[in-house]
Amino acid sequence: MKTYLFVYSIGPVQSFIAAARKTEDFWSGSYLLSFLTERTIEFALQFESFNAKVLSPGITLAEIEESKRNPSEVASLPNRFLMRIEAESDEDVRQFGIQLEEITKQSFIKLGNRAFKNVFPTLSNHEYITNLINKQLTNLLEIFWAFEQWDTNVPGTYNEVRTTVEKRLASVKNNRTFAETAQDGLVCTVCGMREALNEGNINEHYSIGKMRHVMKQTWAKRARKYQETEEDKGARIKDNERLCAVCLTKRLTREVILEQNNAVKTRFDSFPSVVEFLTDKDKNPYYAIIMMDGDDMGKWLSGVDGKILPSFYKVTEDYHQEFSRRLTIFSKEKVPKIVEKPATGEKKYTGKLIYAGGDDVLAFTTLADLLDTAQNLRKAFSADDVLGKNATSSMGIVIAHYKEPLQKVIRTAQRMEATAKQYRNNYQEKDALAIALISNSGQTREMTIPWYLDADKNESVIDVMKELENALGKHLSSTFLYHFNEAFAPLVHRDKKPDVSKAMIESELRRLINRATNNKAITEPLIRKLLQMYDLTDTFKEYIHLLETVRFISSKLKDTNKEGVV
């Protein structure tokens, strides 16, 4: 028998998750990918002839069985896994990969067909719709896998083989094929990409109005529990919605997975709407989405550039398993306690997790808990029992009005996380925070800044933001911000910083803050930190957006009847 390293990836990820009209759709995107990963790993581990062992993520067959009986409501498995298997030949491994691919596809199709039958029991045997469902679900999935033989008799070769198999996977992804799909009907109202499910009775020569009429007749056939009534407007599927197979499966994920698993739980609680993350719908109608991702995970897995776990001096199979174990501590133990800490007073939620797996976190949070949650997640990732002080992470945050289209908010959060990953200054790369504030007026403010004020990481930027947020309205008027912007904005060229000396910036900022405060002893240390933050932002606009974001948070959290400082 030969030993192989085998890596398997399921996609798409970003576009699949972002296609969401409701928070329920957003949650189910991550959950479905995690579910498909779990089903595929389960099949691989049950395939005894290959003696498979999962190296990443850290999961066993016993844990999968327990998950099926008592499923978590938070997606916790990434869309890829690495395992060690044994086989007689390369061809046996190829057949193994083909069978895993088929399991992934059939697991998805099975969910989709169950969702369709639940919604349309009178159309459950409709051949056209069944074929459309199978085609849409199969065409969505992007499954890639690769393998490499590993001679375990030669010491010290594990990391070399692992690196090779990862490169093979990357090459396979770069050579993906795209299938052309003809569509005759109206598109899905959620994703806008695929044809909404229909009975095949739409002629290409129909007018748009007639197409809508025919489609409405089809979707009026859904079961009563999925229809809106005069008494209940909160139906799972609205009267003005028409969904494709993918979005219908996402919408019914929580019920069809429990049905399929015969779980102890009979139902998941519905994922809260964005309104439930508002401190006050009238005075503070804003919430936030957090997307966090560990930096340089490839280097940590390879043990290069000093990125290696304590007590290890080289990357081995044991190292990889320990690395996975530590990330499991972060995602399953620390993250839920940080994001979903108990609410106080009239608040129902402080935050709600959508995904926590490995080094990735995706969550909703209230505006009041945003800064603390972000800071505690960053600290937890660098804890001694996770990856240690040398580990860094980047985060994208979006603060948005509850009426802002969710799909836009999600895509902005994804973009902000990517922006944080691109941050550079004189002494670091990545390890940054990118925030977008989308106000109800439609204006968007964006800024990126590192987590810490200096290379030694003695002072946190979040601490400075909280210090400024607390001072505004108590000891400091926000008028200094407007005057500072008015003074230097005319000198800004192509979004860069004003071509003036640092001493002039410092002098004017100090003068304006001292004029806007009633407690100079408190604000003097703050001025120093704000000047450091000025150096860390790339453009003058970003710096102003940073200050405006803090002012915005402060104003929304303060009692609107409380008198500010003049």
| Three state DSSP letters for 419-476 | HHHCCECCCCECCEEEEEEECCCCCEEEEEEECECCCCCCCEHHHHHHHHHHHECCCE
What pLDDT score was predicted for residue 36? 95
Range of weakest confidence among 18-27, 127-136, 210-219: 18-27
Where residue 233 falls among pLDDT bands split at 50, 70, 90?
low
Q: Of all residues in the chain, what percent carry a pLDDT higher than 70?
A: 95
On whether the CB atoms of residues 120 and 222 are closer than 8 A, the answer is yes
Diameter of the chain by CA atoms? Answer: 80
The answer, yes or no, to whether residue 3 has pLDDT greater than 70, is yes
92, with CB counted inside 10 A (0-12, 13-18, 19+), is middle
What pLDDT score was predicted for residue 114? 94
Average pLDDT over residues 352-376: 94
What pLDDT score was predicted for residue 265? 52
What pLDDT score was predicted for residue 214? 93
Where residue 22 falls among pLDDT bands split at 50, 70, 90?
confident
Taking only the tens place, the pLDDT of each residue in 60-99 is: 999 999 888 888 888 999 999 999 999 999 999 999 999 9
Token code pair at residue 99? 């069978």
Average pLDDT over residues 295-314: 92
What pLDDT score was predicted for residue 564? 38
What pLDDT score was predicted for residue 360? 95
Taking only the tens place, the pLDDT of each residue in 502-520 is: 999 999 999 999 999 988 8
Taking only the tens place, the pLDDT of each residue in 402-456 is: 999 999 999 999 999 999 999 999 889 999 999 999 998 888 999 999 999 999 9
Where residue 168 falls among pLDDT bands split at 50, 70, 90?
very high
Range of weakest confidence among 119-123, 372-376, 415-419, 558-562: 558-562
